[in-house]
Chains A and B, each alone.
Chain A
């Protein structure tokens, strides 16, 4: 499922990131935030009054905010996986 559909506070890990859907600079920033295949993620908050705002998620030990368009490029799987990508 996409990160946009991930229920809040459900531990998951990144399955696949569609780097082509992201601009080069956004892709790089996401990488620098530690987003990569296998990274653990947890959606924490959806912003915006109608839920169309950005998404705050925990990536490793960091909290990161991104727009839904970014989150839509990230496919996740639920369940705690001892990632070792």
Chain B
């Protein structure tokens, strides 16, 4: 195709993000991230309003060659397409802000041997708030029957996604795991922690994701890890991250003592589930404050090319600053390096 009198535009679901030293194109449909130089990011922005031919008029031969390479990169990677000026108007960029009809989107409920949660009551309150996804983190061993009993309260529930993390014990044979996953199709992920190094990990062959980890997770202090494996290449979550905190927005949590919090690791309490409803906690002063700390407000993250696909943590931050970079992040956007 003769591209010269054409415009080049990116698909709305391929979102470029500029960092301190390089940029990325996040393809939220095909779940790919490709690095590009910042100069290419700027070029993409300029091409929104100028044809390739007009853009290249001002350039020398060398610069034209570079922009031709950029065009090839966009087309070969299927990030964009040529169109005429008239057609350009047909492909508006996504400018929507994040919206959700649910007052709460997800919840964490921690428990250990000292906990005495009334799960039925908690789940019904979460349903009232529209919560669709929960994570149950057990820090002490839990029996198959106990877990069954807890999950049975969700059989008719509008909570459709259940994440479980529980320590391995002899009882949790591969067969038992299979039983649990078959019985409770709403389980989205089951993580067996403290998984013995002497055992082969159980095959991950279920509808739900099964993770066997040797890591000991015996308290909420393990949370807050920043790692590319937690990157979220989803358009909804990228849009959410532009306007809201992408860990705490629309999240509510109950710690092992029944204390209602933004996240179990944080110290600020909004009452105890024994005497306060989740709705009361949600509407109490200050509960939603941290929901609005977005990546663009956070030191260092604001210059990071991963900021809209990365997770966040407000419980562990550099210098305990409310706007500090997550403490457990080892990435340096200036140097483009992950330190181990």
A binds B: no
**Chain B interface (Cβ < 8 Å from any Cβ of A):** none
**Chain A interface (Cβ < 8 Å from any Cβ of B):** none
